[in-house]
Amino acid sequence: MKEKEPLDKLIERSRSTGDMHALGLVYEHYYPKILKYMYYRSNRENYEDLTAEAFQKVIRNIGSQEGNFEAWLYKIAENTVKDFYKAKGSKMRLEESIMKSDKVPGNNSGLTKTELKMDIYGALDKLDDEKRRIVTLRFIQGLSSEEVAEITGKTPEAVRIMQFRSLIELKKIMTEENVK
Amino acid sequence: MKESVENILDKCLEDIARGGAPDKILAEYREHPEYEILKDALHLALDLKNLQEPPISKIPDFSLIADYSKNSPVKRKIIPFRLITRIAAMFVAVFILLAVAVQASDDSIPGDLLYPVKRGYEKVRFSCMTGDRQRAEFKMACSNLRLSEAHESVKKGGKADVSLFSSMFDDSRYALEKALSMPEKDRDELVFLSAYSMKKQKEGLYQIYQKALDSDKSEISHYVCACSKRDELMASTFGIKISTPSEKGCPAMFECCDCSEGRECKVSAGEIAKMKKSIQSSGVITGSLPGEAKKFQYYPQ
């Protein structure tokens, strides 16, 4: 709680006075979160550039920011990803990179860690964009359903339904892939 | 009422986020009918939560990003231009498509795919016209066109579409009524042209009658009779009588009408051409028009 208060004040200061030092501290706090979001929302080669681009937009528009800062930040991040793929003219894809193979402790599916990750990445890739966005925000980023609702402009109830359906769909895709 | 599985999943996730043990939390819902689905979903959610963090060596210096954001051009300005270009391209494409469809529909007849386009375009053109004379002439042309379409249909061995004859009469009457409401010079000229057009329609209709299927002849004959009566009325109301040499075989066999007057070749084709030329140059027509024109009915009985 102690950390949150100064952060709120830092955000307020950067918003009202354009204090770049305060904004720099806000940046340091949110950089890893946005980087992770970009990593799972985009092709994993461009996530660092996209994160930098999203923060450039934050710097340019902080003066006009209103309401929940974090929700605003995630919206900027999402728009940056969309603009990138629109300009590139390609479908959003998660790259299937090869990972080191080792067993996942306590994983009753018997899949190796690599296989499990490959499975999840592949399945995420097959989810429609909106569901993937919900999954990334809710499970990978660890936001609450209320926070996801604010970012996506849906009701918390709609988010709860969508997150459940997305998980079921992911599971189904993974099972089908394993059968193949 | 049982709590929905979506809400239970959300509650479990919140409890786990607060430090609860997944298995213990799940155990509370063992009796739920969708327990297995819930368990799978929750395990998958936890797997997603434990996915690897992106490799990060060092957070880039904020001052570099701030400097770059000040110096980099704002790309947004490109978007509206691109959007405008796309919209313009879309309009051009739609316009071209419509123009091609209208052009292709020019020779269409009832039953053709593009025939509604042709009729629709006629309506659009008509509604765009402002002058009375322009509208009257257009309707006269439409009236003749309906007859040509019927002729084409019958020539191709099809059934004669009698609704075309009704349209022909409607358009023709509209043209005449419009002509009568116009200033004297235009009125005289257009009434004469209407009479001429009606005469040609009568001939055309008779040709259609001859080529039509036997089953259609009875219905078409009513329209031929109506044409004859229309000629008579034009003669009695406006004093205009037009007969052409090609009118041999005028349908006198129809007992329902008396068109003996119309059969007399009072005006030759050459004279008609001369009259038309005279109308175009001076606006004077042969024949006499009563000062007060009457409305009349010439629909088939």
Q: How far is CA A98 from CA A119, A122, A176, B47, in A?
A: 12, 12, 20, 18
Q: Angle at Cα B108 formed by Cα B105 and Cα B110, nearest 5°?
A: 125
Q: Using CB atoms, which residue from B5, B52, B62 is nearest to A27? A: B62
CB atoms closer than 10 angstroms to residue B172: 24
pLDDT tier at B92 (50, 70, 90 boundaries)? very high
- Judge whether B5 and A164 are in contact, CB under 8 Å: yes
pLDDT of residue A27: 92
- Judge whether B195 and B242 are in contact, CB under 8 Å: yes
Q: How many CA atoms lie within 13 A of B37 on its CB side?
A: 16
Picking from B42, B47, B61 by the largest number of A CB atoms within 10 A of its own CB, the best residue to mutate is B47
Domains of chain B: which residue ranges?
A: 1-47, 136-296
Q: B147-175, pLDDT tens digit by residue?
A: 889 888 888 877 778 888 888 888 888 88
- Pull the structure tokens for residue B174: 């509209």
The separation between the first and the last C-alpha atoms of chain A, rounded to the nearest angstrom, is 49
Residue B47 sits at the chain A interface (C-beta within 8 Å): yes
Residues A76 and A56: their CA atoms lie apart, in Å, by 10
Residues of A in contact with B6 (CB under 8 A): 160-161, 163-164
Residues of A in contact with B7 (CB under 8 A): 160
Res. A106: pLDDT tops 70: no
CB spacing of A35 vs B56 below 8 angstroms: yes
Residues A73 and A61: their CA atoms lie apart, in Å, by 11
Q: What is the mean pLDDT of residues A3-7?
A: 63
Q: B18-60, pLDDT tens digit by residue?
A: 888 888 888 888 888 888 888 888 888 888 888 878 877 788 8
Query: Can you count the helices (H) and strands (E) in chain B?
Result: 12, 0
Residue B48 sits at the chain A interface (C-beta within 8 Å): yes
Shortest CA distance from B62: residue in chain A: A24
CB atoms closer than 10 angstroms to residue B1: 3
Residue B56 sits at the chain A interface (C-beta within 8 Å): yes
Q: A118-136, pLDDT tens digit by residue?
A: 577 778 878 888 898 999 9
In sequence order, what are the residues at sequence separation of 6 or more whose Cβ sits closer than 8 angstroms to the Cβ of residue A61? A76
CB atoms closer than 10 angstroms to residue A88: 11
CB spacing of A142 vs B49 below 8 angstroms: yes
Res. A53: pLDDT tops 60: yes
The residue with greater pLDDT, B289 or A44, is A44
CA of A64, closest CA in chain B: separation in Å? Answer: 16
pLDDT tier at A31 (50, 70, 90 boundaries)? very high
Q: Which domains does chain A have, with CATH numbers?
A: 1-92 (1.10.1740.10), 96-180 (1.10.10.10)
CB spacing of A117 vs B52 below 8 angstroms: yes
Complex ipTM > 0.90: no
Q: What is the pTM of this model?
A: 0.49
